[in-house]
Amino acid sequence: MRNLDLDHVAVNVDNIKTAVEWYTNNLGAEVTYIDETWAMLEVGTARLALTISNQHPPHTAFRVASLDDLGPDYREHRDGSCYVYINDPSGNVIELIYWREDGTDKS
Residue 107 domain flag: no
| Residue-wise pLDDT tens digits, 38-68 | 999 999 999 999 999 888 899 999 999 999 9
Say if 104 falls within a structural domain. no
Is the separation of the CB atoms in 48 and 29 below 8 Å?
yes
- Give the type of residue at 62: F
Domain count across the chain: 1
pLDDT in tens, 86-101: 999 999 999 999 998 7
**CA atoms of 51 and 32, how far apart (whole Å):** 14
> Are the CB atoms for 48 and 79 separated by under 8 Å?
no
Domain residues for 15?
Answer: 5-98
Q: Sheet harboring 75-76: ordered strands across? A: 30-34, 38-43, 46-51, 5-12, 59-63, 93-98, 82-87, 75-76
Examine residue 10 and state whether it is found in any structural domain, yes or no: yes
Mean pLDDT of 1-9: 87
For residue 103, being part of any structural domain is answered with no
Whether 43 is in a domain gets the answer yes
Residue 31 lies in a domain: yes
Q: How many CB atoms lie within 10 A of CB 24?
A: 15
Whether residue 20 lies inside any domain: the answer is: yes
Asked whether residue 79 is assigned to any structural domain, the reply reads: yes
Do the Cβ atoms of 48 and 86 come closer than 8 Å?
no
The pLDDT tens digits for 12-48 are 999 999 999 999 999 999 999 999 899 999 999 999 9
Give residue 104's pLDDT band: very low, low, confident or very high (50, 70, 90): very low
CATH number at residue 31: 3.10.180.10
